[in-house]
């Protein structure tokens, strides 16, 4: 867990500056690209509602995938710490399998193995592509969260387990009331990294036909039929994601401060 | 006892078979039963299919054809945007009932899918090149890098007949971007779309031209269905013939500024006479 501590120490100082610098660079590049052609800017503005709709889909997929992944990952992480090998081993292999699967493969996998609709006695319930992509991203997310949780729990000194035991806590009670609250602070930075990674990963959903931001950008560049616009619209994707993830990192820092009670 | 059970089971099986055989194929039944036609359309840009940024509505030839099919069948239309990598998978999964996705007839495709025999258009490839590149005919592309969209049916003739070094890009905008970036000597795409582009966007494409007069493998654009959907095929074929007979296809092409292919006029005359 030294790396997590290191990130924490760096975050308010150099990390912050780097983020601001790269944001400024992205904005500057766009400004330079747009300067010689003001019509491009107005075209981009005209496409803004369509792009925004696409981005809303990325946000929805990322929030759901990381939400499901976090719930699943906390359970898996707990199981990985089980004293019983019969529980620990299968969980370990589940986590290793999905942690080492490329996100794109998971997205393809989920979108082609699940049916596009489920029929229940002549009622057809659609199983939309975005939901399939969400599940495809939630599985590896749960495996990553499991490792984050396991790492965080392991980083707490074993003396605390022993003290809790001496005070009459059962193992599960120790985990819930003593260990996990201290883990929140340690797990937050890697969890935020995971959220950012999964958010970037949501653009993979466009490859299986989900109407996300990348898909909206493709629609826009196909309709406008101008190579300069294609460049601008792709640069704008960078800015959308940058601004979103930057905001998330600010929220994470606030949360870290809130939980920094030791 | 077991024999008797087997006998009834076989009879039951035959009964089911007879019942399904008497009905139309699964797709036509599904369309009629649900009152909705789900069409996979390609939004590769005007004139074929694109999104209007102000209304967010889909427009273009593909959309007009899909609307007309739904009207003729007396059902509601639902469109699903498809891309070259997803279109066949979506059709085979059953997510869409048919494809109006700029897919020309090829031998390979006809072996895995069923198609409506009467084509609705004919499209060939056109090469966009920088002015003064000295390219005058397809044979001039020998050994030169040429950009296409992935899964394009122009890949094979370019590589095998003309010996070009073909580079595939995810879609047309990327391929054209690569042409401008100097990654290839020519970009080969659906003739109708790129001709319209070079004509309309003088400020951006003024340095470029389409010098080769004849189209690369002009092939019929057809509606694609899942393998073996013969009833749907027959129902749709009647509609496409009607389009030709009434001249509706020519009108639609003109409305969308799609250059009229010789096939449209030929089939219009043919079906008007019969």
pLDDT at A5: 41
pLDDT at A9: 42
pLDDT at A10: 40
What domains lie within chain A, and their CATH numbers?
Answer: 39-258 (1.10.3720.10)
pLDDT at B10 over 80: no
- Mean pLDDT in residue range A40-67: 92
Residue B262, helix vs strand vs coil: helix
CB contact (8 A) between residue B171 and residue A112: no
Q: Where are the alpha helices (DSSP H) in B133-261?
A: 155-156, 172-180, 191-200, 202-205, 230-246, 248-255
pLDDT at A182 over 90: no
pLDDT at B270 over 70: yes
CA–CA separation, B5 and B18 (whole Å): 20
DSSP string, chain A: -HHHHHHHHHIIIIIHHHHHHHHHHHHHHHHHHHTT-HHHHHHHHHHHHHHHHHHHHHHHHHHHHHHHHHHHHHHHHHHHT-S-HHHHHHHHHHHHHHHTS-HHHHHHHHHHHS-SEEEETTEEEE--HHHHHHHHHHHHHHHHHHHHHHHHHHHS-HHHHHHHHHTT--HHHHIIIIIHHHHHHHHHHHHHHHHHHHHHHGGGGGGGT---HHHHHHHHHHHH--HHHHHHHHHHHHHHHHHHHHHHHHHHHHHHHHT---
- B257 contacts on A by Cβ (under 8 Å): none
Q: What is the pLDDT of residues B230-263, one digit of tens each?
A: 999 999 999 999 999 999 999 999 999 888 888 8
- Mean pLDDT in residue range B83-112: 90
- CATH code of B123-218, in short, is 3.40.190.10
Domains B24-120+222-273 and B123-218 share a fold: yes
- Mean pLDDT in residue range B72-93: 90
CA–CA separation, A144 and A146 (whole Å): 5
The domain ranges of chain B are 24-120+222-273, 123-218
B46 Cα to chain A: minimum distance (Å):
6
CB contact (8 A) between residue A231 and residue B80: no
In words, the CATH class of domain B24-120+222-273 is alpha beta
pLDDT at B213 over 80: yes
pLDDT at B71 over 90: yes
- The average confidence (pLDDT) of chain B is 87
Residue B244, helix vs strand vs coil: helix
Report chain B residues touching chain A, CB-CB < 8 A: 34, 43-46, 50-54, 56, 80-83, 85-86, 89-90, 93-95, 171-174, 176-177, 180, 197, 200-201, 204
ipTM value of the model?
Answer: 0.75
Q: Per-residue b/e over A226-237, b at no fewer than 16 CB within 10 Å?
A: bbbbbbbbbbbb
pLDDT at B6 over 70: no
Picking from A153, A150, A151, the residue whose alpha carbon sits closest to that of residue A174 is: A153
For an interface test with B, give the residue of A131, A219, A220, A228 to mutate (most B CBs within 10 A).
A219
What confidence tier does A34 reach under pLDDT thresholds 50, 70, 90? Answer: low
pLDDT at B170: 82
What confidence tier does A13 reach under pLDDT thresholds 50, 70, 90? Answer: very low
Q: What is the pLDDT of residues B180-190, one digit of tens each?
A: 889 999 999 98
Q: What is the pLDDT of residues A101-144, one digit of tens each?
A: 999 999 998 988 888 888 777 777 888 899 999 999 999 999 99
Paired residues of B186 in beta bridges? B129, B146
pLDDT at A83: 86
pLDDT at B22: 42
pLDDT at B29: 83
CB contact (8 A) between residue A222 and residue B173: yes
CB contact (8 A) between residue B53 and residue A220: yes
pLDDT at B141: 94
Which of B43, B93, B95 comes nearest A222 by C-beta?
B43
Which of A207, A211, A230 comes nearest B173 by C-beta?
A230
Name the pTM for this structure: 0.78
Q: What is the pLDDT of residues A161-175, one digit of tens each?
A: 999 999 999 988 998
Which of A46, A222, A228 comes nearest B44 by C-beta?
A222
A113 Cα to chain B: minimum distance (Å):
10
- Mean pLDDT in residue range B193-213: 88
pLDDT at B33 over 90: no
pLDDT at A17: 62
pLDDT at A18: 64
- Mean pLDDT in residue range B103-108: 90
* pLDDT above 90: percentage of residues in chain A: 47
What confidence tier does A66 reach under pLDDT thresholds 50, 70, 90? Answer: very high
Burial class (CB in 10 A: 0-12, 13-18, 19+), A83: exposed
């Amino acid at each position: 867990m030294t790396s997590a501590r290191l990130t924490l120490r760096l975050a308010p100082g150099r990390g912050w500056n780097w983020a601001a610098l790269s944001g400024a660079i992205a904005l500057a590049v766009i400004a330079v690209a747009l300067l010689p052609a003001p019509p491009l800017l107005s075209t981009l503005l005209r496409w803004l509602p369509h792009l925004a709709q696409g981005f809303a889909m990325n946000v929805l997929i990322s929030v759901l995938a990381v939400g499901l992944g976090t719930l699943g990952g906390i359970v898996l992480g707990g199981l990985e710490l089980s004293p019983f090998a019969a529980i620990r081993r299968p969980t370990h292999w589940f986590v290793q399998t999905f942690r080492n699967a490329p996100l794109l493969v998971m997205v393809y996998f989920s979108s082609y193995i699940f049916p596009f609709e489920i029929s229940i006695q002549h009622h057809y319930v659609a199983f939309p592509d975005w939901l399939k992509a969400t599940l495809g991203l939630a599985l590896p997310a749960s495996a990553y969260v499991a490792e984050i949780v396991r790492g965080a729990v392991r980083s707490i000194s074993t003396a605390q387990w022993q003290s809790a035991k001496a005070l009459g806590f059962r193992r599960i009670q120790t985990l819930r009331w003593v260990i996990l609250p201290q883990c929140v602070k340690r797990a937050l930075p890697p969890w935020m990294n995971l959220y950012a990674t999964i958010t970037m990963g949501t653009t993979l959903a466009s490859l299986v036909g989900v109407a996300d931001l990348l898909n909206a950008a493709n629609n826009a560049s196909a309709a406008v039929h101008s190579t300069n616009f294609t460049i601008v619209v792709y640069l704008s994707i960078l800015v959308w994601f940058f601004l979103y993830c930057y905001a998330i990192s600010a929220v994470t820092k606030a949360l870290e401060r809130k939980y920094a009670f030791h | 006892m077991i024999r008797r059970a087997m006998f009834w089971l076989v009879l039951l099986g035959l009964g089911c078979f007879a019942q399904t055989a008497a009905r139309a194929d699964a797709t036509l039944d599904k369309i009629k039963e649900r009152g909705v036609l789900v069409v996979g359309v390609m939004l590769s840009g005007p004139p074929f299919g694109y999104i209007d940024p102000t209304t967010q509505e889909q427009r273009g030839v593909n959309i007009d054809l899909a609307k007309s099919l739904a009207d003729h069948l007396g059902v509601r239309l639902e469109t699903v945007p498809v891309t070259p990598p997803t279109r066949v998978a979506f059709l085979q999964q059953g997510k869409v009932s048919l494809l109006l996705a700029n897919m020309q007839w090829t031998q390979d495709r006809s072996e895995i899918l069923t198609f409506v025999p009467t084509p609705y258009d004919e499209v060939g490839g056109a090469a966009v090149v920088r002015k003064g590149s000295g390219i005058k005919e397809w044979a001039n592309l020998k050994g030169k890098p040429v950009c296409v969209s992935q899964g394009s049916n122009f890949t094979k003739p370019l590589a095998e007949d003309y010996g070009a070094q073909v580079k595939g890009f995810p879609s047309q905008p990327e391929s054209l971007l690569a042409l401008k970036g100097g990654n290839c000597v020519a970009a080969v795409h659906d003739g109708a779309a790129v001709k319209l582009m070079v004509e309309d966007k003088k400020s951006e494409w003024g340095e470029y031209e389409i010098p080769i007069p004849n189209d690369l493998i002009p092939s019929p654009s057809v509606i694609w269905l899942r393998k073996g959907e013969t009833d749907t095929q027959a129902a749709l074929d009647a509609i496409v013939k009607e389009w030709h007979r009434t001249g509706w296809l020519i009108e639609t092409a003109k409305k969308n500024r799609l250059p009229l292919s010789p096939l449209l006029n030929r089939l219009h005359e043919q079906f008007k006479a019969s």
